[in-house]
Every structure is written in structure tokens, then in C-alpha cells.
Amino acid sequence: MGSEGMRPPLWSSRSTKRPATSTPNRPARFTSRTIAPPGAVRPSTRQAGTTQGRPSYRLCDHLVGESRDRRLAPAGFWPPPRADRVRRLRNSTVAGWPAWCNLPPSQRPISAPRPDPPKQWGRVRSGGRHTAPGRRAGRADPRTEDPIARKAAGGRVGRRIIICDGAESARLWSRIGIDESEELTWIPREGEARARPPGFKILQGGLDDEAIAKLDPALDDEFALVSDDGPWTRLAVREIQKVDDDASILVLSDSLTGDDLPDHAPLRRTGWKTLIRDDINEEFDHLANLQQVVKIRELLEDREKVGILVQPDPDPDGIASAYALRALLGRKRTTAPLISFGDVQRPENQALCDAIGIEVRVITPDEIGEFDGLVLIDVQPNVFGDDPPARICAPDLIVDHHPERTGYDPTLSDIRSNYGATSSIFTEYLRATDTEINPKLATALLYGIKSDTQYLGRETSNKDMLSFAYLHASHSPALLRRIERPALPLEGLQALGRALTKAEVRDGIHILVLGRVREDVIPQVADMALQAQGAEWAIAVGTVDRNIVFSVRNVGYVRAAGEVVRAVVEGLGVGGGHRSMAKGIIPLKAFREVYGRADRAQIRSALYDAFVRAIHQDDD
């Protein structure tokens, strides 16, 4: 066998010079490379075929030949074996493996069977693939560990072997882009033109196990079958199982269901063109949000000073959303200040403002006139009482996620009651406009979503989930830790202790009357009160200035809290909220006019009766 035209052998030396040794025909520092089938564990140098930890030269004797064989070899390679040496390799063994395993594929026996490995190299799976000893016992194997974990560690992940049924699906795959880890094959349909789709090659031999075996799948390789033909897909799965009964298979089809596929544990079915459709729909959603932002900017761009109004004692969702609007408008706090009719009181809300650097200016209703632009964020005019200022009832813009109310006339509004937080709406605005979201803004919006959905556990939509995941990549964990450690003041704890002495749960309603407290204590106590055994409704009540203020929480599967609170305060005060949380305010004067006095016992009794009627008013 001549050396010309041969592919380079699998053995090489760093030098083209023949080293001087006591054995002329044996190169010094020559390392025998025994190429084991995929998945096999290479034996240590002290296993069979070695001498005192040094590589054995038995294979080298076959490869190099006698000293009289001095044929020229390519630079950097030792002479390739002669024809008689190849024959000897085909019929001999080294370290338990047939020595022809070390030959290039073109020189191996045509019908060479896959050898059984030595026992120390592990067992053979039913598909002919090799795994290390102890796999069944749960011992880790660095070659076959979880591909996801290996990818996270920066290691190699196996190929994705794509098999398309027909040229149409192959061409579509080419158009959407090809990943470098993918090996693309297709099988032409009968009567179909055999023009090769870009990046693809025909699966030689058709859809059978021998053709699949020629792809030489490794342990961590994955298969994808693209077809809407049930019989074709079932056949493909069965043929892959013959090669590897544990192969991971992804079926991409828009018409097949799980009942159409054979039983195979690591098999998953998903859509094909529908996956592309989902991405297109998402882009149209971004386009709709972009159009909304364009309208907002056009509406407010000529206004000299835009007031961004949030509710009294604003919550994190309102604060973060107002902060995001200012970023969208490209304004500073002097030309777009955040304003409110009440102070930021709750400790975690104050911590949010301090950590992010947000200032909420407290104003009176008379000061609204200094702004030639007015925007209501996370709030609607009805929250400001039965007779709010006329300017508030005709704002330029309202963006909110609470149920829509009537009685006002904004120039532009975007109210999405199916969202769990207004922060999610503004996250979509920012994404649609490709506005940079710095860590401070991302942290504020993330906390706004967390707080209004109670860690994504209450009234959370898929939009909230997507926005939260998007923000999570950019937020600052250090800032978030500074914000979400609410401190209950000592006087609040003392008021809670007094209220707990009278605590009881009747008809699923748990009421705690705290007396005169800071307003930020009331919602914190309501959150804790819902944990009482048997409680479906938790109501924390406190006296703040000249008002009775109460926060309401429920378990989520009863009547909406916002509706109940509106029924309770009807004719007395204001209130509203969501399905599982709400707030109400009743002036002390109005309460005394109806109930005579406003001590703790009377407040507890009156609110209990009012809530029972409101909760069960539709049961008759």
C-alpha cells in the first residue's frame, strides 16, 4: 500500500527525525493511542497491554515495521503501515480491543463487527453503546454527566441530529437559521425534487437503523424529527431505538399528538411552525406596545412640566412604574416629577425610594394646576374620593392594571386588568422601544411586580412572568436586599399584641383592630392575619388621623376583595382593590354618624356585620 493519497494516520510524532534508541525500529517517547469505540472508558496505563506503567510497544511494532522499511512519510508522521501490516492489525488485538480500531475508517475491515469491550471498560447497552461501570449504581461518569450541567460548566455538549421529512421542512429549517451544533439531514419524499436544501445532506440509505448508525451518534447527542406524517415519525423513532434505546428524541410536528407516537421515555413533542408563529405573535405584541409609546410621547412631548401622579402612600408598583415612565419620556425630575397627595410611609417603600434615588413630592390638590401635563400611574380618579379635582378627572394619560372605573375622561389610557402589576406594562414599553434598562430601573420594576403579585403567587399572568424573567437578568440583587426587608416598628408590634388578645376567626373572617397606628403597619398586619387557621378573610383595621383605615386580604378563591370593600364603604367612604387584596377608608365622623361611637369593640362589630353582608349578598 503506497503512502500517496492516504489520509494521515492516527499516530504522529513532534519531530520528523527518527530518534536514536537502542532499538532502531522503535521510536522513543512514542505513545500508543488505542482508539476505543464511542462511550468506552480508556484503561489506565497500568492495565493490560502496559509494562510498569509505560505504554506497551506491541501496537507500535505492527505500525512502524522493521528497520529496513524506510519509506518516506509526510512531515510530522511516522510511516504508514504496509498492506501486510494492515492485514495483521485487522486480525490482532491490543489491550483487549481488535487492533483495526486504530486504523483510519478507510482501512478497516468492510464488515467489521463492533467488538465487545473488556470488562474493565464497562458494560454494553442494548443499543450497542458503551457506558462506564457503576452507572446503574449511581456513580458519576465525567464523560456522560448531565449535558445541561456540562454546558453550564463550559464543557462540550453533544450534537443535535436533525432528520427532516421532505425538502419543505428542511428548507424552512435552513431559513430560520442553523446552529453550529446541528447535523442536518433530510429524506426526500417520493416524487420530490432532490435539490439539496442549504446546509443539509441526504440521509444515505433512507430511514433505517444502518443509515442512522452511520451518523455515529454519541451518548450526549440528541435527535430531532421534523414531520407531520404519523407512520414516518413512528418508523423513525423505532429505527433510532435500534441504534440507541435511550436516545433523546424531539418530535416537531403541528398535527401529531402524543397518541400518534410510540412509547419512548426520553421523547418530547412540540409544535413546528407554531413555534415560529409564537415568536411572530410576540413581535406583534412588541409592535403594539411601541405604537402605544409613540402616542404617549407625541401627547406629552410639547408639555413643559408633566406631573406623574401616584396614589396617596404609593406602593412599589406605582413608584417603579412612574419612574419607568420618566425614563421612557427621557425627562428629568424637574420636568417630570413624581407627585402624590400622601407621604410614602411603609418602610420597604421608603427603602425603595432611598435605594433607587426616587423622590416623590407630596402636593395638595390645589397645586395640580402648576403642571401642564398630568399622568395617573397605577391609579384611577375614583381613588381620590367622591369629588376629586376636575383636572384629575380629565388627565392626559392613565396607565393602570386595576379594574377599569367610570366617571372620568382621559385623553389616552392603557388599562390592562388582566395584568398583575403596572410594572409589567412598563417593562413591555421599555422592551418595545429598546430602551436601556439599567440595574436601578430593573430592580425597581422587578420589586414592583413581586410586591403586587406577592412573589408571583397572586393574580399573576403570563405577561407578568415574562416581564419578571426579563428584568431578573438586569436587576441588582444587592439593591433588592436593601429594599425587601420591611421593619415593623415597635409601636406597631405593641398594637398587634393588644389586637391578638381579642383575635378570633368567625365564619372564615379574622379581624384585628389595632387602634391608632402608622398606616404602613396595617397592610403588614393584614398579610400576617391571613395565616390564622380557618381564615379565608383577614381584615386589619387602624385609626390614622381622622380616618378608619383597613386592609383586606383573602385566599383568592372567594369573592373578589375589591368588590366586597366597595360594598362595605358604600355611602361612608372610599375603597377598592383586586381579587385577593383591597383597602378601605372611612372618615371617623361618618362612622360615628351611623354607629354612634368609634371604639375598638364597635369598629370590630360593625365591620364584621358589614363584611358578612357584602360577602354573602349574592347567596340569597
Q: Is residue 154 part of a domain?
A: no
pLDDT digits (tens, 9 = 90+) for 410-431: 999 999 999 999 999 999 999 9
- Cα–Cα dist 37/85, whole Å: 22
Q: Is residue 579 part of a domain?
A: yes
The range of the structural domain enclosing residue 191 comes to: 160-271
Which residues, 6+ apart, have CB-to-CB distance to 340 below 8 Å? 309, 310, 311, 312, 313, 314, 360, 361, 362, 363
Tell me the mean pLDDT in the region 168-181: 87
Phi and psi torsions of 101, nearest 5°: -60, -25
Q: In which band, very low, low, confident or very high, does the pLDDT at 556 lie, cut at 50, 70 and 90? A: confident
Tell me the mean pLDDT in the region 6-32: 42
Residue at a domain's end among 84, 114, 144? 114
Range with the largest mean pLDDT of 39-43, 124-128, 349-353: 349-353
Q: What is the CA radius of gyration of the chain?
A: 37
Residue % of the chain over a pLDDT of 90: 45
Q: Is residue 277 part of a domain?
A: no
Residues 476 and 517 in one domain: no
Does 161 have pLDDT greater than 90? yes
- Cα–Cα dist 278/93, whole Å: 56
Bridge partner list, 360: 338
- Cα–Cα dist 25/57, whole Å: 11
- Cα–Cα dist 56/67, whole Å: 19
CB 534 within 8 A of CB 525: no
Does 77 have pLDDT greater than 60? no
DSSP secondary structure letter of residue 471: H
Q: In which band, very low, low, confident or very high, does the pLDDT at 13 lie, cut at 50, 70 and 90? A: very low
Residues 495 and 471 in one domain: no
- Cα–Cα dist 522/454, whole Å: 16
Residues 191 and 222 in one domain: yes
CATH of the domain at 418: 3.90.1640.10
Residue at a domain's end among 483, 514, 535? 483
Residues 468 and 515 in one domain: no
Q: Is residue 133 part of a domain?
A: no
Residues 263 and 311 in one domain: no
Residues 60 and 110 in one domain: yes
Tell me the mean pLDDT in the region 74-94: 47
Q: In which band, very low, low, confident or very high, does the pLDDT at 230 lie, cut at 50, 70 and 90? A: very high
CATH of the domain at 561: 3.10.310.30
Q: In which band, very low, low, confident or very high, does the pLDDT at 489 lie, cut at 50, 70 and 90? A: confident
Among 537, 328, 531, 564, smallest CA distance to 437 is for: 328
- Cα–Cα dist 275/85, whole Å: 55
Residues 557 and 523 in one domain: yes
Residues 528 and 563 in one domain: yes
Does 345 have pLDDT greater than 50? yes
Show the DSSP H helices in 257-315 as ranges: 273-300
Total domain count, the chain: 4
Does 117 have pLDDT greater than 60? no
Q: Is residue 247 part of a domain?
A: yes
Q: What is the pLDDT of residue 105?
A: 52
Q: Give SS3 for 526.
A: helix
Q: In which band, very low, low, confident or very high, does the pLDDT at 440 lie, cut at 50, 70 and 90? A: very high
Distances (CA, A) of 85 to 124, 282, 370: 30, 64, 98
Which residues, 6+ apart, have CB-to-CB distance to 411 below 8 Å? 299, 394, 395, 396, 397
pLDDT digits (tens, 9 = 90+) for 38-54: 444 444 444 444 434 44
Q: Is residue 304 part of a domain?
A: yes
Bridge partner list, 339: 309, 361
Tell me the mean pLDDT in the region 81-106: 49
Q: List the Cα angle 581/583/585 in 5-degree steps.
A: 170
pLDDT digits (tens, 9 = 90+) for 309-335: 999 889 999 999 999 999 999 999 999
Residue at a domain's end among 55, 80, 114? 114
Residue % of the chain over a pLDDT of 70: 74
Could you tell me the sign of the dihedral formed by the alpha carbons of 265, 266, 267, 270, in that order?
positive
- Cα–Cα dist 89/65, whole Å: 12
Residues 402 and 494 in one domain: no
Q: Is residue 504 part of a domain?
A: yes
Q: Give SS3 for 242.
A: helix
Q: In the block, which residue shows the cell 495483521? A: 88
Residues 248 and 292 in one domain: no
Residues 412 and 521 in one domain: no
Q: Between 178 and 23, name the one with better pLDDT.
A: 178
Q: Is residue 620 part of a domain?
A: no
Residues 471 and 548 in one domain: no
- Cα–Cα dist 452/445, whole Å: 11
Does 375 have pLDDT greater than 90? yes
Q: In the block, which residue shows the cell 433512507? A: 206
Q: Give SS3 for 377.
A: strand
Tell me the mean pLDDT in the region 353-361: 94
Give pTM, 2 decimals. Answer: 0.56
